[in-house]
Structure formats: structure tokens, C-alpha cells
Structure 1
């Protein structure tokens, strides 16, 4: 069984450089699953996982890295028409998509979708005020 190439390290470098995010690895059973969280409210804006490609309907025994990101439900239908983008694996399919990290999705689009997910999960000014008074 061979693995697909991966852009995992590029994504982790990007979130560190642009958002100051240090990935969390919360599960013993899946030590390579990386949670990307907002600092202000602890909401997830990304999840990197290594899964069997067959879970996405790809007919191979290979493993692949994916990135789950939050999207507008209005955009998901058109995004799913693009190569390398799938209904969210292990997440709410109304608000999340899975992106192959094998180079199928161009790096610029990958980072754009990651930026959008980060923006969608940012703390609101109302929630920031609550934290300041807590």
C-alpha cells in the first residue's frame, strides 16, 4: 500500500505563520490527526487527518491526508464539483468539506478555503466582550 503525496507540512506552516496556530493532537488512537483551533474561542477551523482514500470513494488501498474546513452551506455544492474536494469526512456535511492534501487542489485555493474557514470561526466582538468580563 502506497500513500498519496501530502501538503500537510505546508498547511501546518501556513497556519503557524498566518494565524499563530500550533496544532493540537488530542487523540491517542489517531496521533497524526491535527486540530486547528481559534485562540479566542477554541473553535475548530481545520482538522487534518490521514485516512484510507477509499473512505472518500477513491478506488485504492492508499492512505491520504485530508483537511476539513468550514464553508458556507451555499458554496458547498459548487465546491464539491471540483476535483479533490469531498463531502466532509467525519464532520457536519452541511458546513464542512474535506480537501485532499495531495496537490489535486491548487495551493492558492487550498489556502483561500483555509482562510475562509478561519474567518468563519473567529470570535465575534460580542463573545470577546464576554471573555474580557469573565
Structure 2
């Protein structure tokens, strides 16, 4: 798994592993080329230190996320832990033993890379990138997503990190629905807003317009897994090309 991660970050970010610890020479750090900040650290630790059964050691990767609510959600799932030895500032540890799928690990590496980037790199990326497509999750426990667009085509939604005006979002309703329900256009972003209740914190909103509605049976999680390699939607993530084409063609 280490080598797969090294190849991914080299292809994606032109980054090579760095080994800065004399006492732990096999602990690679992945860092930004401009500001030197880490966006990932791979460690080899005893399973018992993570609260797992067994005495053998296992590789983990530490990454930083931008949303503390997301951190608290992820650590409830198999293979995710609060950051080992770096629990502050929204760091998490992810098992590299196959418990968490590789594409999911790459998603959080991408998130960590974005969160730890320099201000200049963030601004440059925001200015030059073309419109992007995202899948964003919605929790029916907190919001009646099934009827969100019954009376209007435009609503305000929690601002997702990296999402800009002009982007397209596909809203995925979590369990018990577990399916993509809507295609929407992002009309406006960074609308000031403060909310903190029911383990949900919101600091900004974006205005979205519904373009297309999908029946729950059209793109359920089972199909996303089997045909498009998407095993979970726990935060904003990119849309694979094959899925993007299927979503656009679907009536």
C-alpha cells in the first residue's frame, strides 16, 4: 500500500517521500514543495496502540481534514482513528491493511493536500481551475433531502471545501436512501452563516439550483461500488468520468 500511495502522490502532485526522522528511518513524510508542510505521514505502529486486537504492527497514514465534524464521523468507521500522536488540528489515522479501500485513502490524501496548501497555492488553484463536478453527501437524519426541491428549484446548502460558483454537484443521500438523487448547479458560494447543533457545524452556505432529479434506484450505492468504484461518500469528492457520463445521459 505504501508504494501505491507513493506512486499516486508522485503522479498527482510530483511529490517524493521524505524520511526526516533519525529514530524512525522508515517513517516517510509527504510534504508540499513550496511551504514544506506535511500533508501525509506514514507510520508503522502496534495494533494494540490503535485499540485493535493483536500484537503485530501495521502501517497507517496520517492526514489532515478541514472539517472536525467529518473527523468525528469517520472515526466511527472501521479503519479510521483519531490521529496517532498528532490528534490535534483534525488529523486522522487510516489503516493501510486493506480495511479502507485505496481510492478512499486517496480521497483523504487529496483533502489533506488541499487543507495544508499555502495561501498562494490555494488562491492560484481557485483562480485557474475550470468548473468541476462533485458528489456531496446529505444526511436524511438532519435534512429532508427527499423533498428539498418540491416547492423550489433553488436552495441554500452547506458550503463544501473547494467548491466554486459554476461547479456541478450531485447530491448523494446517505442511509437509508443511499443513492444519488439530484444534479445541481452552484450559483453562489461563501454565503456567511453560523450554525452549530446536533453535531453539525456550518460556517458558510452556497446557493444551488436543481437541474435534474434521479429516482433512488437509478444510482444506488451498490451500483456506485460495482460499476464506478465509489465505496463511500463522506465528504465532497470528484466524479469519475464514466459516472459523470452516465449521470448526464440518464433521464
TM over 0.5: yes
Larger Rg: 2
CA distance in 2, matches of 1:10, 1:102: 12
Say if 2:94 is the partner of 1:99.
Answer: yes
Judging changes above 3 Å, is the alpha-carbon distance between structure 1 residues 127 and 81 closer, same or farther for their aligned structure 2 residues?
Answer: closer
Structure ranking higher in strand proportion: 2
3-state SS in 2 of match to 1:112: helix
The answer for the alignment partner of 2:78 in structure 1 is 83
Judging changes above 3 Å, is the alpha-carbon distance between structure 1 residues 81 and 25 closer, same or farther for their aligned structure 2 residues?
Answer: same
State the TM-score, normalizing by the size of structure 1. Answer: 0.85
The answer for the alignment partner of 1:114 in structure 2 is 109
CA distance in 2, matches of 1:121, 1:14: 18
CA distance in 1, matches of 2:47, 2:32: 28
Q: Deviations over 1:45-97 (max 9, x none)?
A: 00001111111011111110000000121210111111100111010344100
The answer for the alignment partner of 1:8 in structure 2 is 2
Q: Please list every run of 5 or more consecutive structure 1 residues that lacks an aligned counterpart in the other structure.
A: 1-6, 129-134
Once the two structures are TM-superposed, the CA of residue 127 in structure 1 deviates from its matched residue by 9.4
CA distance in 1, matches of 2:48, 2:87: 19
The answer for the alignment partner of 1:44 in structure 2 is 38
Q: How many residues align?
A: 122
Q: CA RMSD in A?
A: 1.7
Q: Deviations over 1:14-73 (max 9, x none)?
A: 111111111110112111101110111111100001111111011111110000000121
3-state SS in 2 of match to 1:61: coil
The answer for the alignment partner of 1:70 in structure 2 is 64
The answer for the alignment partner of 1:59 in structure 2 is 53
3-state SS in 1 of match to 2:73: helix
State the TM-score, normalizing by the size of structure 2. Answer: 0.47
CA distance in 1, matches of 2:122, 2:106: 26
Q: Please list every run of 5 or more consecutive structure 2 residues that lacks an aligned counterpart in the other structure.
A: 124-251
Once the two structures are TM-superposed, the CA of residue 119 in structure 1 deviates from its matched residue by 0.6
Where relative contact order (Cα < 8 A, 6+ residues apart) is larger, the structure is 1
CA distance in 1, matches of 2:3, 2:45: 16
